[in-house]
Amino acid sequence: MSNDETCTYKQGEMNQCEPLAVPFVPAQMASEPVYDSGEALEKGTLFPGLDLPFMDFIAKSGAPNTPMAELMALDFVTYELGLYLDTHKDDAEAFETWKNFTALAKEGHSRYVELYGPLTKADVATNSSWTWTNDPWPWDTMGKAASK
């Protein structure tokens, strides 16, 4: 019997009905988040064990020190911790850290909107009219935000 008679196109032409690939992704070892939010944003990961250079490229430091960059760092940390918690749901310390950073990110977002204007369309929901398209845009205020 040939492969054509018993296997589907998704199984390829290896040994009888052999799958094309069997991916394996090992579970990440439990580790404490060591990088602070700014360093994690620069490195692209919150976890030092995942801080691996891509094609011999090592990121140079120098993220801007602005309120927008701080918000980005907080959002990054909450996202990374959320990914970690997806596979380590019983890590109570990581969950508490995620809750703390989520609260900081929410507070920071509210403060930024109050000082510099909306970051998302949802930020204008309490306004009396549609002001989302009014200037300045969030990236237009970065210079002003940096100086305040």
The CA distances from residue 40 to 36, 61, 141, in Å, are 6, 11, 24
Which residue would you say has higher pLDDT here, 57 or 37? 37
The CA distances from residue 5 to 11, 84, 88, in Å, are 12, 44, 43
**Number of Cβ within a 10 Å radius of residue 28:** 13
Q: Domain boundaries in the chain?
A: 27-147
Tell me the three state secondary structure of residue 77: helix
pTM: 0.57
Distance from chain centroid for Cα 142: 21
Residue type, 96: E
Whether the per-residue pLDDT at 1 is higher than 50: the answer is no
The highest-confidence range among 2-11, 24-33, 103-112, by mean pLDDT, is 103-112
State phi, psi for 32 to the nearest 5 degrees. Answer: -80, 140
As a whole number of angstroms, the distance between CA 74 and CA 9 comes to 45
